[in-house]
Amino acid sequence: MISTNDLRTGVVIVLEGELYSVVEFQHVKRGRGGAFVRARLKNIKTGQVHERTMNAGENVPKAHLDRREVQFLYRSGDENVFMDMETYEQIPLHTDQLADATKYLKENMNLHFVFFQDKIVGVEPPFTVELEITKTDPGIRGDTATGGSKPATLETGLVIQVPLFVNEGDVVRVDTRTGHYLERA
């Protein structure tokens, strides 16, 4: 159990049988009445974000998650095959189970599976990935780093905004948490 006073961003709790990750929290103390905690919680399974108000000091069950390193091997239709780095066992997962992680998967990439009670509940790609640009408009002479942005399609099919000086064939670093361009690699 964890007290609502100890909630922090990223903590995973169990509410009504579902796993929720704390996205944002705020402790509120009004002049009259008791204090309370207003939290934005993201359902790990569905990705929906809910707001919830709880009394200060109320106890909620904290989820004990296990992380295991895996390597992405290949994609075959809607099935993605991973290899457990400890047991070398191959684990197939449907694309729906991976949520947003499919946008960043490259062959031989290492990432983590998140387990709760021996069931896979999430996939954590590395914080940054390097992907090649396969399609974008050409840069024009005089374009600068602060001059604006243009859409670019990456090798995984993800479309992001990049600076005007970036061209096709360039490898860029992308933040997997936000989906934004970081820099040219």
Q: What is the DSSP string of 117-181?
A: TTEEEEEE--SEEEEEEEEEPPP-TT--TTS-EEEEEETTS-EEEEETT--TT-EEEEETTTTEE
Of 124, 140, 155, which residue constitutes the final position of a domain? Answer: 124
Of 185, 179, 184, 176, give the one whose Cα is nearest residue 139. 184
DSSP secondary structure code for residue 29 in this structure? -
User: Per-residue pLDDT averaged across 146-155, rounded?
Assistant: 84
| Whether residue 132 is found in the same domain as residue 120 | no
Question: How many CB atoms are closer than 10 A to CB 84?
Answer: 14
| Whether residue 48 is found in the same domain as residue 90 | no
| Region for residue 44 given its phi and psi (left: phi exceeds 0; alpha: psi -120 to 50; beta: otherwise) | alpha
Of 105, 124, 143, which residue constitutes the final position of a domain? Answer: 124
Confidence of residue 144 (pLDDT cuts 50, 70, 90): low
| Whether residue 115 is found in the same domain as residue 93 | yes
| Whether residue 6 is found in the same domain as residue 52 | yes
Task: Identify the domain containing residue 27 by its residue range.
Answer: 2-60
At residue 103, what are phi and psi to the nearest 5 degrees?
A: -70, -20
Q: Count structural domains, the chain.
A: 3
Is the predicted pLDDT of residue 58 greater than 90, yes or no? no
| Whether residue 89 is found in the same domain as residue 50 | no
| Whether residue 8 is found in the same domain as residue 51 | yes
Please name the residues in contact with 87: beta carbons below 8 A apart, sequence gap of 6 or more: none
pLDDT the model gives residue 114 = 85
Q: What is residue 185's three-state secondary structure?
A: coil
Is the predicted pLDDT of residue 143 greater than 60, yes or no? no
User: Per-residue pLDDT averaged across 121-140, rounded?
Assistant: 87
Q: Give the mean pLDDT of the chain.
A: 86
The span from the first CA to the last CA of the chain, in angstroms, equals 44
| Whether residue 79 is found in the same domain as residue 103 | yes
| Whether residue 79 is found in the same domain as residue 33 | no
pTM summary value: 0.71
Q: What is the CATH number of the domain that holds 75?
A: 2.40.50.140
Return the half-sphere exposure (C-beta side, CA atoms, 13 A cut-off) of residue 124: 13
Of 75, 103, 124, which residue constitutes the final position of a domain? Answer: 124
Q: What is the CATH number of the domain that holds 33?
A: 2.30.30.30
DSSP secondary structure code for residue 33 in this structure? S
